[in-house]
Structure 1
Amino acid sequence: MTLYVKNMVCDRCKMVVADLFDKSDIPTTKVDLGVVETSNDLDDKQTETISQKLQSYGFELLDDKRKQMVHIIKTTLIELVQTQPEKLQKINPSTHISEKVGRDYKYLSTLFSEVEGTTIEQFLINQKIEKVKELLVYDEYSLSQIADLLYYSSVQHLSTQFKKVTGLTPSHFKQLKENKRISINQI
């Protein structure tokens, strides 16, 4: 049985969710970003129990098919930006999403906009900007290196997009003492 879990955005989330299923005596065959596959179908009581446990950790079981598709799109993009930025240059995100979900991109784009109130493209831009913020806060890379890492065509392109989304230049953001990052699941 495949279950879709909202707000799983990192490897720690996967560990927490896997642990919750294990402690609930529900064997899993796969725990990935936003998706849990169980060995057996769950009855209503098991579904309610695991749903409550997930909610106590800020996760949510998704049962609406439209929301499930949107969730797959979001986790696909989060995974691309957070763990596989090298693929940003090699693939077309719309083709990648369409292949991952198994539906026409135009349909998925319309669905995403209806459910989320924003476009897939804007969501991807927001994910990339959050990754830029993270890298700026860590202060391990120059802006030029960050632009290369996230496959921006130039530092100017990165800076323009950063300012459009945040209202700040990357250098001004870096100078701020307070952390202006947004949790990935709140984007």
Structure 2
Amino acid sequence: MVKQELQKLGLHYTNIELGLIEIQENLTNEQKKQLKSNLAASGLELLDDKKSILIDKIKNIIIGMIHYSEEVPKVNYSDFISEKLGYDYTYLSNLFSEVKGITIQHFIIKHKT
């Protein structure tokens, strides 16, 4: 589905995996707008700024830990998330709270119930 939308706009990508696409070209504002609109029609969202992408990665790590992992991390969640993303946990926590309006811990608790 995403590949088709990229092809419609004549965009080339080097890598495509769940939640992340590397596009070779620099997108014009019109291309971004069109891609965002086309993806939204399919229930998907275009994240094109670094903060949004990082928040999305945090959420994916947490969801993966809770819902799809057979084993519990041997370190606490904060260390696990920080290690996976290569950022200081305080920075990640503050960013997440600022953007999402809840703490990472609260997000984890919501997904455990």
Q: Which category of TM-score, normalised to the shorter sequence, fits these structures?
A: 0.7 to 0.9
Letter in 2 for 1:43: T
Distance 2:13 2:28 in 1: 15
Instruction: Extract unaligned runs of 5+ from structure 2.
Output: none
CA pair 55-99 structure 1, distance change in 2 beyond 3 A: same
Let me know the Cα RMSD of the aligned residues. Answer: 2.4
**Aligned 8 A contact 2:66 2:112 in 1:** yes
- How many correspondences in the alignment? 113
CA pair 67-23 structure 1, distance change in 2 beyond 3 A: same
Distance 2:47 2:94 in 1: 19
* Structure of higher RCO (CA pairs closer than 8 Å, 6+ residues apart): 1
**Aligned 8 A contact 1:33 1:75 in 2:** no
Give, in angstroms, the shift of residue 91 of structure 1: 4.4
Is 2:40 the partner of 1:62? no
Q: Residue 114 of structure 1 is aligned with which of 98, 101, 107?
A: 98
Which is worse superposed, 60-69 or 110-119? 60-69
Give, in angstroms, the shift of residue 65 of structure 1: 3.3
Give, in angstroms, the shift of residue 20 of structure 1: 2.6
**Aligned 8 A contact 2:5 2:38 in 1:** yes
Give, in angstroms, the shift of residue 23 of structure 1: 4.0
CA pair 18-69 structure 1, distance change in 2 beyond 3 A: same
Partner of 1:95: 79
Partner of 2:21: 36
Sequence identity, in percent?
39
Give, in angstroms, the shift of residue 36 of structure 1: 1.4
Distance 2:16 2:62 in 1: 17
- TM-score scaled by length of structure 2: 0.76
Give, in angstroms, the shift of residue 88 of structure 1: 2.7
CA pair 17-90 structure 1, distance change in 2 beyond 3 A: farther
**Aligned 8 A contact 1:28 1:39 in 2:** yes
SS of the aligned residue for 1:76 comes to helix
Q: Give the structure with higher Rg (CA).
A: 1
1:145-160 alignment runs, 5 A limit? none
Partner of 2:58: 73
Deviations 1:39-70 (A, max 9, x none): 33323332222111111122222234333321
Distance 1:20 1:38 in 2: 12
Partner of 1:137: none
Partner of 1:126: 110
- TM-score scaled by length of structure 1: 0.51
